[in-house]
Amino acid sequence: MITDGFMYVALLLFMSGAYSGSLVPVGILMALFGYVIGTPLATLCANFMRSLV
């Protein structure tokens, strides 16, 4: 499951680099921020949904 996030980082790097080499740092930042922010928010959401049952 952890490797899925890293796969998206690599995919975003590849896609941003395909358009322009100067977008690669932006792709890295977007992927890492999405991974860092998305994982805790998904955990909070799962705990909240578990408390409803």
Per-residue pLDDT reduced to its tens digit, 4-49:
656 666 776 777 777 777 777 877 787 788 888 888 998 999 999 9
CA distance 18 to 6: 19
The structure's pTM equals 0.53
Alpha helices in the chain (DSSP H): 2-19, 24-52
Phi, psi for residue 20 in degrees, rounded to 5: -160, 135
Indicate the pLDDT class of residue 50, thresholds 50, 70 and 90: very high
End-to-end CA distance of the chain: 25
Whether residue 1 has pLDDT greater than 50 = no
CB neighbours of residue 27 within 10 Å:
19
